[in-house]
Amino acid sequence: MKIPEILQVETPQVPGSLASVLNVIADAGLVLEHVTTLRREQGRTLWEITLEIEEGAQEDLLRRLSSLPSARFVGWSDRVFERHRGGKIEMRSRIAISTQQILRDIYTPGVARVCLAIKNDPAKAFDYTYVGRCVAVVTDGSAILGLGNIGPRAGLPVIEGKSALLAALVGLSGIPILIENTSTDQLVDAVRSIAPSFGAILLEDIAAPRCFEIEHKLRARLSMPVLHDDQHATAVVTLAALLNATRMTGESLEGLVVGLIGLGAAGLGIAQLLRSFGVQRLVGTDLRPEATGRLAQLGGQGLSLEETLRRSQVVIAQTGAKGLIPARLIRRGQIIFALSNPDPEIEPADALAAGAVMAADGKSINNILAFPGMFAGVLRARATKFSDAMLLAAARTIAAAAPAGQLVPDPLNGTVHEEVTAAVAAAADAGAGAGAGT
C-alpha cells in the first residue's frame, strides 16, 4: 500500500539542483504530491517533498539520492505526526466564565431554570444546549479508511479528523464515539443509550454487511437523523461528479448503463441513490453473493468483473483492491471512477490512455464535500431523518458549485458547504412529514 511520506533534502542554490532530485524520484516510479521550500541560507535550500511511496521502499530511494553529488538527505519529516500530537479536537466553553454572576447563570442556581424548561418542552434542548449543533461520530473500527479492521482506538485519528472537519467547515461539534467490535445488537444498544446527548448520529467506517443492519435498526429506533457516511455521503458526491461528467459528454445519466465494481457500503449506497435519481440500468460485481443479492433487490443485475466492464458506459469502483481493473478491459468512451483510497482500482491516467472519456479517483471525488453540509442542513431544519430528497438536493448543489470543466468543487471552498447546508435544510422543510427516509 502506498503511503504519503515527507522527505527533507538540501541542495545548493544553483540551476538544476532540485531538478536532479525530482528526476531521481521520477526514475524510482514515485508520484510527487507537493514541493515546498523550508529555508534558504548560505547558498543552500532545504526542500520538503511530499510523495507517495510503497511501505519498505524508502531505502531504495535514499540509495538513489545518495548518488547525487549536490543533494543531501536531511531526514523524513514528522510534520503529519506533529499535526496529530495531542489530538486534533477539544471541548471548549463558548462563554468566558469571568465573573461570579456568569458562573451562577451557567451553573447553579441559574441552570435549574433551563433544565426545567427543557423538561416541560424537550424541543427547547435545541435552543438552550449544544444538541442542535452536535453530532456523534460513531465507529467500531472495522473498516477504517482503506486500512480495514484495525479497531476503534487505531481508527480514532480518522474519526477525530471527521470531527475537526465538521467544526471547521460548518461549525458543528463532532464527538468521536468508539465502540469495541461487539455484536450488531450490542452496538445498536450502545448508540441508543447515548443518543440523547446528540442531535444526529454519523456512522463511520463500519464494515459491510452489518453496517446496513446497524443503520436500519438505529433509524427505526431513534427519532433523530442517522446516516452511514460511507454509504450516503459518498453516494452524494459520486452522483454530483456524474452529473457534471455526463453534462460534459452530452449524455443523460438516467439512460446509461452504470456498472458498480464492489458492492460494499459505498457501492450499494451509490446504487441506491442512483436508482432514486432515475438511473434504470444498474449492473455490478462482488465476490460475495449476498452483496449481488442486495443489488438485485434494488433492481440491478449481478455479473462478473469482465462482463460488468464490457456492458457499462459508466464504471464506479469501490473495492479497496489496488489495480483491480486492467486497462485492456476499458472501453472507448467510458466514464471511469475508481474511488478506492489510497490506491485506486485503475489510475485515472491509465484509464484515459486506454480510451476512457473521463476518469477520476477518490482523492477528488471524496465525501468531505457532502457530509458537513448534510448534517448542518438536517440539524438546521430540525428534521428527524435524512431523506432521498435531501441527498439529491446535496448532490445537485455540489455539482452546480463545480467550476467549468471540473467534476466537483474544491472542498476548502467554504461557500460550497453553506450552499449544501441550505439546500438540505430546504429539502427537509419541503418534505417534512411527507418523504420516505433513505
User: pLDDT digit string (tens) for 365-377?
Assistant: 999 999 999 999 9
Q: Is residue 106 situated within a structural domain?
A: no
Q: What CATH number should be reported for the domain holding residue 77?
A: 3.30.70.260
Is the four-CA dihedral 341, 343, 344, 345 of positive or negative sign? negative
Q: Is residue 243 situated within a structural domain?
A: yes
Q: Does residue 301 share a domain with residue 255?
A: yes
Last residue of a domain, one of 200, 224, 248: 224
Q: Please list, in sequence order, all residues whose beta carbon lies within 8 angstroms of the beta carbon of residue 297, skipping any fewer than 6 positions away.
A: none
Residue 244: all three cell numbers together: 457534471
How many degrees, rounded to 5, is the angle at CA 100 between CA 97 and CA 102?
50
Average pLDDT over residues 289-306: 96
pLDDT band at 437 (very low <50, low <70, confident <90, very high): low
Q: Does residue 255 share a domain with residue 272?
A: yes
Q: What is the pLDDT of residue 330?
A: 97
Residue 74: what are its φ and ψ, rounded to 5°? -95, -40
Instruction: Compute the residue count for the chain.
Output: 438
Q: Does residue 403 share a domain with residue 254?
A: yes
- Note the pLDDT tens digit of each residue in 175-219: 999 999 679 999 999 999 999 999 999 999 999 999 999 999 999
Share of the chain above pLDDT 70, in %: 98
223 neighbors 199 (Cβ within 8 angstroms)? no
Domain hosting 13: range is 2-84
CA 35 – CA 19 distance, rounded (Å)? 12
Nearest to 211 by CA among 305, 281, 122, 144: 144
- State the number of CA atoms in the 13 A half-sphere of 265 facing the CB: 29
Is the four-CA dihedral 387, 393, 396, 402 of positive or negative sign? negative
Q: What is the pLDDT of residue 433?
A: 54
Q: Is residue 105 situated within a structural domain?
A: no
Q: Does residue 249 share a domain with residue 208?
A: no
- Note the pLDDT tens digit of each residue in 376-422: 999 999 999 999 999 999 999 999 999 999 999 999 998 999 999 99
Last residue of a domain, one of 46, 62, 84: 84
Q: What is the pLDDT of residue 435?
A: 47
pLDDT band at 146 (very low <50, low <70, confident <90, very high): confident
Q: What is the pLDDT of residue 205?
A: 94
CA 137 – CA 346 distance, rounded (Å)? 31
Average pLDDT over residues 89-113: 93
Q: Does residue 209 share a domain with residue 66?
A: no
Q: What is the pLDDT of residue 182?
A: 79
Q: Does residue 48 share a domain with residue 157?
A: no
Q: Does residue 170 share a domain with residue 258?
A: no
Q: Is residue 329 situated within a structural domain?
A: yes
Q: What CATH number should be reported for the domain holding residue 321?
A: 3.40.50.720
pLDDT band at 56 (very low <50, low <70, confident <90, very high): confident
Q: What is the pLDDT of residue 158?
A: 95
- Computed over every residue of the chain, the mean pLDDT equals 93
- Note the pLDDT tens digit of each residue in 246-282: 999 999 999 999 999 999 999 999 999 999 999 999 9
CA 121 – CA 113 distance, rounded (Å)? 12
Q: Does residue 381 share a domain with residue 247?
A: yes
User: Pairing between strand 44-54 and 2-12?
Assistant: antiparallel
Q: What is the pLDDT of residue 82?
A: 82
CA 212 – CA 72 distance, rounded (Å)? 52
CA 126 – CA 132 distance, rounded (Å)? 5
User: Pairing between strand 335-338 and 31-41?
Assistant: unpaired
- DSSP, residue by residue, 91-138: ---SS---SHHHHHHHSTTTHHHHHHHHHH-GGGHHHHSGGGGEEEEE
Three-state SS at 54: strand
Assess whether pLDDT exceeds 90 at residue 30.
Answer: no
Share of the chain above pLDDT 90, in %: 80
pTM for the whole structure: 0.87
Q: Is residue 274 situated within a structural domain?
A: yes
Number of domains into which the chain is organized: 3
Q: Does residue 421 share a domain with residue 337?
A: yes
- Note the pLDDT tens digit of each residue in 84-95: 888 998 888 999
Between residues 123 and 343, the one the model is more confident about: 123
Between residues 364 and 172, the one the model is more confident about: 172
Q: Does residue 43 share a domain with residue 59?
A: yes
How many degrees, rounded to 5, is the angle at CA 396 between CA 390 and CA 402?
140
Q: Does residue 428 share a domain with residue 283?
A: yes
Last residue of a domain, one of 173, 193, 224: 224
CA 211 – CA 221 distance, rounded (Å)? 15
Q: Does residue 255 share a domain with residue 358?
A: yes
Q: Is residue 110 situated within a structural domain?
A: no
Assess whether pLDDT exceeds 80 at residue 46.
Answer: yes
Q: What is the pLDDT of residue 434?
A: 55
Q: What is the pLDDT of residue 163?
A: 97
Which residues are annotated as catalytic? 107, 162
Q: Is residue 120 situated within a structural domain?
A: no
Q: Is residue 96 situated within a structural domain?
A: no
34 DSSP β-pair partners: 50
